[in-house]
Amino acid sequence: MINTNRRVMNVPFEQGYGVASYAALIRFPAARLDMNFCFDDVAKVLSIDNVLRIHCLEPDPKLSTPLPSEEIDSRKLEVVFIIDVTNHATLQNVVQFFSDTLGLDPDGHQMFHLIWELRSEDIG
């Protein structure tokens, strides 16, 4: 694997409801993140058509031990947003919103199409 890292994350907040088949993973360098943005603009993101839920994940520095392949001095502990949406066009709209709002690189995010999900309630 290339550019792997291990992070243990806290969830300071989640907003919205449901699980969708598309997800955007947006990373925020700690120096660029204003937590007021998180609370003030989450409602704007949730108002985008087909956005169902936003998860804010914050790394725990003590529990996020580096992998052997990761350089300790240059490792990044970035806040991550995972946004559940219902289609690919909405993924692009969400990434564009964060790029326009915070000036983040629109190509610096990941987009996923999830084909299935298994929950413990489904097998228990």
The DSSP secondary structure of 50-109, one letter per residue, reads TEEEEEEEEE-TTT-PPPTTS-TTT----EEEEEEESSHHHHHHHHHHHHHHH---TTSS
Q: How far, in Å, CA of 115 to CA of 104, rounded?
A: 28
The pLDDT score that the predictor gives to residue 34 is 61
User: Domains along the chain?
Assistant: 9-115 (3.30.70)
Would you say residue 120 has pLDDT above 80?
Answer: no
Q: How far, in Å, CA of 71 to CA of 29, rounded?
A: 17
pLDDT digits (tens, 9 = 90+) for 99-112: 887 777 777 788 88
Percent of the chain scoring above 90 in pLDDT: 14
Instruction: Tell me the backbone φ, ψ of residue 74, rounded to 5 degrees.
Output: -110, 10
Q: What is the pTM of this model?
A: 0.78
Q: How many residues does the chain have?
A: 124
User: What does the block give as tokens for 55?
Assistant: 């998860």
pLDDT digits (tens, 9 = 90+) for 39-98: 667 788 888 899 999 988 888 888 888 777 777 787 778 888 899 999 999 999 988 888
